[in-house]
Amino acid sequence: MPDKPLRNPCNLCHAVRAILKRPKTGQQLCKECFFHVFETEIHNTIVDNKLFRSGDRVAIGASGGKDSTVLAYVMKLLNDRYSYGLDLVLLSIDEGITGYRDDSLETVKRNRDQYRIPLLIISYKDLYGWSMDDIVKEIGRKNNCTFCGVFRRQALDRGAIMLNVDHIVTGHNADDIAETVLMNILRGDLPRLQRCTSIITNDTSDDSSGLETSKILRSKPFKYTYEKEIVMYAYFKKLDYFSTECIYSPNAYRGHARVFLKDLEAIRRTSIVDIIHSGEALSASVQANESTKLPTMSTCTRCGYISSNELCKACLLLEGLNKGLPQLGIGHSSKIRRMHEAAHALQATPSSPASPLASLSTADGAAARDERGKLVTHIRDLNRLETMPTLQAV
Ligand SMILES: Nc1ncnc2c1ncn2[C@@H]1O[C@H](COP(=O)(O)OP(=O)(O)OP(=O)(O)O)[C@@H](O)[C@H]1O
C-alpha cells in the first residue's frame, strides 16, 4: 500500500510535519528546519557584516531575558560550529531592582553553568553609589528609565574594560531596532537614526579616551531577527530564561511605537525589516550632511568616560542625585577595585571546552517547569502572534 501523503509537510524538508509558521516569512516549518534557518540567518548576519575577527574576546550583555539568553546560546553554538575562534564571556549589570534583576541574575548564573561561559556581574550600587531602587525612592518612577539607560550603557563599557574585551554584543532584535527607527524619525533625530541602524558601532572617533572605550566595538547580531522567532526558538530549545517585565519601566513613548509596529506587522509581516531598511536608506542619504553628524567625542573631565561635553551624562545625572549628599565619584572606590580583581580572575580562566550541543538543549528541571505557561505568557505579551495551529499540540 502506498504511504499516506504527509499532512501539512515542512516547506523546507518536506519529510516531516510542520509545527510552526515563521513570523518573518510565513513558511510552515518543522522544528529542526526552523532551528536551522534561525541559526543560519544569524551566522550570515555575522559573516556578511564581518562582526568579529578570530581571537576576539567578546562580552555578551546578559540580562537573563529571552533575547540575551538566546544570544548567549546561539553565540556559543555558532562559535563552536563554525570555529569563529571567539573567547566568550557573559557580562551582567545589576541595576539593583529588587524582585526583578535579582531574580533574572539567578537565571544568568544558571546560563553560565549550562553554557560554560564565564560571568562577571557589576552593580550600579558599586559603580555609582546608587541602585535603581535608591534612585526611584529619590526621584519617583517618572524618568527613571533615563537614569537606567545612561548608567547601563556606561556600566557595560566599564565592565568590558575590566574584562579586557574587544567587543560587546547585545540582544537588541529587529523589533527593538524598528521601534527605535520610528522613534528617531518621529523626533527628527537624524544622528541617532544613523547610530541605531548601524549593526556595529564604536562609540567615539577619539582614541584619547581615558577609558579606552574607543577600542571596544558594540554589535547587534539579532538586528534582523524577529522577536517572535526568538521567543519560539527559546521555547522549542527549552532555554532557561527570565520572562518578567521591569517593574519600573513605563517608557510610554516606546510603548506607543511598539503598538504601532505590531499593528503594521499584523497587516504586513515584512513591516519590521522594511522599517529597518528605510532607516538604513535614510541614514545613508544624510550621512554626508555635516549638520546631522554626531558630535565629536572627548572625555568627561570628572570620570574620564567618553563625552561630547565637559561632563558625561552619568556624571551630570549623579550630580543631581547627589545634591546635598556626600559626593560619590565613579571609578576610584575600593568596590570598583574589587570588581576589577574579579574581572581579572575571569580573564585568567579560559572558557571551558565546547560541550556537546545536545546537552546545551536539555533544560534543567527549573527551566522545564511551566514551559507551556511561559510561551502562553509571551504570546500574550507579544500580542497577535501568528496562528501556530500545531502549537496547541505541543
Ligand atoms: N542588566 C543588563 N546586563 C547586561 N546586559 C543587558 C542588561 N540589560 C540589557 N542588556 C543588554 O541589552 C539588550 C537589550 O536590552 P533591553 O532592556 O531592551 O531588554 P530586552 O529586549 O528585554 O532583552 P532581554 O530579553 O535580553 O532582557 C539585552 O538583550 C542585553 O544584551
Known binding residue 189? Answer is no
193 located within any domain:
yes
The H or E element that residue 88 is part of is strand 87-94
348 located within any domain:
yes
179 close to ligand 1 (CB < 6 Angstrom): no
- Write the DSSP symbol of residue 355: P
Burial annotation 295-331 (CB, 10 A radius, 16+ → b, else e): eebbbbebbbbbbeeebbbbbbbbeebbeeeeeeebe
Query: What is the pTM assigned to this prediction?
Result: 0.82
Q: pLDDT by residue (tens digit) across 101-157?
A: 999 999 999 999 999 999 999 999 999 999 999 999 988 888 888 899 999 999 999
Q: pLDDT by residue (tens digit) across 267-292?
A: 999 999 999 999 999 988 877 665 65
pLDDT of residue 292: 57
For the chain, the average pLDDT equals: 83
274 located within any domain:
yes
19 located within any domain:
no
Residue 291 alpha carbon to ligand 1 centre in Å: 31
Known binding residue 67? Answer is yes
Q: Do β-strands 167-169 and 28-29 pair in parallel, antiparallel, or remain unpaired?
A: unpaired
217 located within any domain:
yes
> Is pLDDT at 362 greater than 50 in this prediction?
no
Give the pLDDT mean for 156-161.
95
7 located within any domain:
no
Nearest to 166 by CA among 47, 53, 297, 303: 53
**Residue 257 or 327, more confident:** 257
Nearest to 122 by CA among 91, 153, 167: 91
Q: pLDDT by residue (tens digit) across 218-242?
A: 999 999 999 999 999 999 999 999 9
d(CA 87, CA 166): 10
Please state the atom number of ligand 1 nearest to the C-alpha of residue 94: 1
Atom 1, ligand 1: residue with shortest CA distance: 93
pLDDT of residue 245: 84
pLDDT of residue 336: 73
26 located within any domain:
no
- Report angle CA 182, 297, 47 to the nearest 5 degrees: 60
Domain count, the chain: 1
63 close to ligand 1 (CB < 6 Angstrom): yes
Residue 90 alpha carbon to ligand 1 centre in Å: 12
d(CA 182, CA 189): 10
Q: Which domain holds residue 57?
A: 35-387
23 located within any domain:
no
Integer Rg of the chain from CA: 22
Beta-bridged to residue 299, according to DSSP, are 306
> Is pLDDT at 163 greater than 70 in this prediction?
yes
Atom 28, ligand 1: residue with shortest CA distance: 171
pLDDT band at 307; cut points 50, 70, 90: confident
Q: pLDDT by residue (tens digit) across 90-103?
A: 999 999 999 999 99
Beta-bridged to residue 298, according to DSSP, are 307
203 close to ligand 1 (CB < 6 Angstrom): no
Nearest to 196 by CA among 282, 289, 257, 306: 282
pLDDT of residue 354: 36
Burial of residue 191 (number of CB atoms within 10 Å: 0-12, 13-18, 19+):
middle
Residue type, 93: I
Question: CB of 43 within 8 A of CB of 74?
Answer: no
pLDDT band at 335; cut points 50, 70, 90: confident
The H or E element that residue 28 is part of is strand 28-29
**Residue 382 or 186, more confident:** 186
Neighbouring residues of 374: CB distance < 8 A, sequence distance ≥ 6: 235, 243
d(CA 381, CA 375): 10
66 close to ligand 1 (CB < 6 Angstrom): yes
Query: Which CATH number does the domain housing residue 372 bear?
Result: 3.40.50.620
Nearest to 180 by CA among 295, 283, 52: 283
Q: pLDDT by residue (tens digit) across 49-92?
A: 999 999 999 999 999 999 999 999 999 999 999 999 999 999 99
Known binding residue 62? Answer is yes
Please state the atom number of ligand 1 nearest to the C-alpha of residue 170: 31
Handedness of CA 360, 366, 368, 372 (dihedral sign): negative
Residue 64 alpha carbon to ligand 1 centre in Å: 8
pLDDT of residue 330: 55
Max alpha carbon distance in the chain (Å)? 87
Give the pLDDT mean for 321-327.
64
Residue 47 alpha carbon to ligand 1 centre in Å: 23
Residue type, 246: C
pLDDT band at 363; cut points 50, 70, 90: very low
Residue 7: strand, helix, or coil: coil
**Residue 384 or 188, more confident:** 188
Q: pLDDT by residue (tens digit) across 10-51?
A: 999 999 999 999 999 999 999 999 999 999 999 999 999 999
Atom 27, ligand 1: residue with shortest CA distance: 65
d(CA 57, CA 31): 32
Residue 218 alpha carbon to ligand 1 centre in Å: 13
pLDDT of residue 328: 47
